[in-house]
Structure 1
Amino acid sequence: MALWGISTTSETSGNNYNIPKFFLDTDRNNTPHNCFADVRGWVYRRYGKTEQSGLSTSYYDEVIVPVAGLNTVGSGASTTGLGLATPVAVFFEDENLASPISIGAGGTTGITTGSIGNVHLVFNELVYVSAGATIRLRAFDANNANETTAIVATAGSFANGSTVFNYINNTGFVANTSYNGQITNRPSFAFTAPSTVLAANVNFLTTATTTGQTVAIGATVIFVNSVSNVSVGSSLSITGKLTNVPVVSVGTTTVQIGTASTIASTITAGIAATFSTRTNATKLSIDISRGFIGVITDVSGGVGVTSSFTSDIIRNIGGAGSTSSVGIGTTTLTVTA
């Protein structure tokens, strides 16, 4: 049964958090984050809507492999149990709500100011989530610096008047209508993107000057080793000589700058030259040190769950900012005006 993730009680990224090994982060069709344990064994939740979270009321569950009492602490050598529900992944939802997504077209590139985003917190078991539980988001400029006011993402409830069915220990299938929260392994926490964004000069090329010249009033041509991705409007800094002066034209091996300096400055060959661009954006990241705050309980017996986050549950599994894998979501999200 090792391939089904119940050969060990150690829950780490190394053993896929006890989630069945057949479900991988890079699986296009069967994301592991829809797989969880209940009293019947490993269950895969197949959603009828693109919204794959505890806010959805359209889904059906498929028992992948029966393991009696899997979401309990187990009893004796013949019974395997996971114990407390454990967070196994946390990421920003793909705003395109596409599953599976494609690297080229399906991933989120960012959201705009004032828009609504969601964070998904994934457990390896079914849990009860009370409305109002929170996850804290940190906010930085485009250089991941100059941290500003944090944002709070808050768990909501599935639609009032709707009914969802879940298999509960010692009870069987239970219908919950207008539950004030979510019953899922994948609760969703909503947040509002900031109304304004931070500005920063983002370096994109470091090269060096190739010949000497004197910079003074007016346009000045500077010879450099590379002009890769440099365009009119880029900024140029030369160590000890110039700081963020505008580029007004670009040649094959030269850039022309406009300066307002009235003091001549001699630039010799071999001095570091850095090109940057002014970027108006705020980068959001999930605050791993805080975990979640609020009431989330294990469906097995209604006890608490592991509330802290380990470093390896911050998962970059595709979506915004990722070109190396496929899936839903990401670890950081860029807000633009």
Structure 2
Amino acid sequence: MLTELNDDALRQYSDAKTAFLALYEAKKAAKEVRGSMFWREVGGVEYLIRANVSSAQKSLGRRTEETEAIYHSFVERKTFTSDRVSSLKETVLKHQRLNRALYVGHTPQIVIDLLNMLAEQGLMGFFTIVGTFALYAYETAAGVRIDNAGALATQDVDLLWHNGKRLQFFTHLNRTQERSMIRLLKKMDSSFQVDELDSGGYTATNNKAFQVDFIRAASRDGEPHPFAFSDDEDDLWPVPAKRAESLLSSPRLETVVVSVRGEMALMPTIYPYDFYKFKLWMATQHTRPEEKRRRDKTQAEVMLRMMKDYLPQYLPKDAPAETEG
């Protein structure tokens, strides 16, 4: 059911993860100094101007010792972060080649691309991976490979939206050039389109039948229902899901996952034991198709074994010896 990665692969993953996280933080620092600063003379007086990436400009005041210090600090930080990002990108590329050579990961490439796209747009903090694909994060954290193909058999990724942060989310989404979730997905893969499900919900599907499902907790009093991610009439609508509220309350676990090509991304998931309990509950839902219920139970069994043997820090003392049912 579980196969341990060899020592070479484990060492390589550790080194690659360190480099990737350093680049991740460097990119965040670089975003703080995006745009430019320059001096502009108006009526014989010089003013410090800050321009953002959209070319919007703001005066920071007349030229003084204070504004000169602001200007020099900005230039130094921008140069430093730019050089650091460039250097770390080269390092990460080297690790990608080693990851591929040593078979470090097997997370589907499209999931890596999706996670990195959301991170680049500043939106990953509003989503958590809660379905089958979370298993790639757990196996990576455990240093093992799940051998049971049935446990990983799916063509849709579930992203739980933190609708309690919807105002901050809308602000961040509107800062993107695309200003809608479906357009962002199309930027990653132009074949994505919005499809209506038989259940009445919506999903984004590409030409390889891979689906991106956005789910959310049921609306509380005073919250709009239903609602789309943006004003774009063709945009996606996050679909209410059972027990989503309890999943939102689970502590967030972030793991660097690796694709067969060696590329990396940071995947946010719920705590392993909460995933186990959720899958065990899903397996008892008789309105759910039988093949999915069997897969849910298999995933719960895999998760329990993984925690017992490799991730005991996430396993409560009163955890069951085996899955029930």
The answer to whether TM tops 0.5 is: no
The structure with the largest strand share of the pair is 1
Report which structure shows greater RCO (CA 8 Å, sep ≥6). 1
Normalised by the shorter chain, which TM-score bucket? under 0.3
The structure with the largest helix share of the pair is 2
TM-score, normalized by length of structure 1?
A: 0.20
Q: Which has the larger radius of gyration?
A: 1
